[in-house]
Structure formats: structure tokens, C-alpha cells
Amino acid sequence: MASQVTNASAAGKQATDEEITRYRVMARLSDIRTQPLKQLPMTAFMMWMVGNEVSIFSIMFVGMAVVNPLQSIFGVGKMFADFEEDAKTDRQIRSAVNQARWIFIGCCLIAFFVALVKLNWMELLPVSSMDWMDNTPPTYQEFSSGAFY
């Protein structure tokens, strides 16, 4: 009888340890997955401050606003590497890590599209047909052919 009680308490202790680990991982994942959206208001404010004129400062800032989300997307494996060991042992953590990866990539894409909109407002994106036209006049070659009768 006493051994059954100790086995039950040990099983209860193990379940709480798993729940605590799961809670910690979920808390860290919820912080990481929305990290690009937390930076977006400051980025949008700075984009508003630089204006739509083409200058070296505005190009550098908007360039970094374009490059940083792409670097984050390409480095998503490193960012979530800390959770791989926990994901191997627990199915819920594995699904939460995969969901957090997709949400993180989606948030980075939102930040990237905001930067592309700013580039469009600065008229640095080739979006109209005039941007692709060649402005050099066509070269005319004169051919003279005579007829000798």
C-alpha cells in the first residue's frame, strides 16, 4: 500500500516537472515569435522621420529595414535551436516550436513588406512601365542604295 502511494506521488511529481518545462518553453517561444512585431513601431516611426526624399541617411535606414527581416528569416534555425532537445522529447513542445517558427517568419515578412512600402513611397522600386523603358533614343541608320540603270 505504501509503495503504491510513493509511486503515485512520483508520477505526479514527474508530470508537474513536465508541465513546468512546457510552461517555460511556451513562455520563451511566445516572447521570441513576436519579436519582429515589437520592433515594428519603432521602425515605422523612424521611417516616417527620414521622409520620402532620397538621401544617404534615408537609403541606409530603409536598406537596413529591408535587410534585417531577411537576415532574421535566414537565421530562424539558429534562433530556435535551443528548443530542439525539448522538442524531441515532448510532442506539444515540438508543435509549439514549429508554430512559433511560422509565426516568426510571418512577422518578419510583415516587417519586410513595410520596408518595401517605404521603398515604393520613396519611388525606388521599379513598379511602373516607365521604370523599365530605355530612355536612350533609338539609333537610326541610314542606308543608301542606288540603282544604276
Residue 65: exposure state from Cβ atoms within 10 A (0-12, 13-18, ≥19): buried
Give CA torsion, residues 29, 33, 39, 44, to 10 deg: -160
What does the pLDDT read at residue 113? 96
Domains of the chain by residue range? 11-124
What is the band of 100 on the pLDDT scale with cuts at 50, 70, 90? Answer: very high
Q: How far is CA 23 from CA 17, 62, 76, 78, in A?
A: 10, 38, 22, 21
What is the band of 10 on the pLDDT scale with cuts at 50, 70, 90? Answer: low
Output the pTM of the full model.
0.74
Check residues 38 and 16 and name the one with the higher pLDDT.
38
The pLDDT tens digits for 107-116 are: 999 999 999 9
What is the band of 144 on the pLDDT scale with cuts at 50, 70, 90? Answer: confident
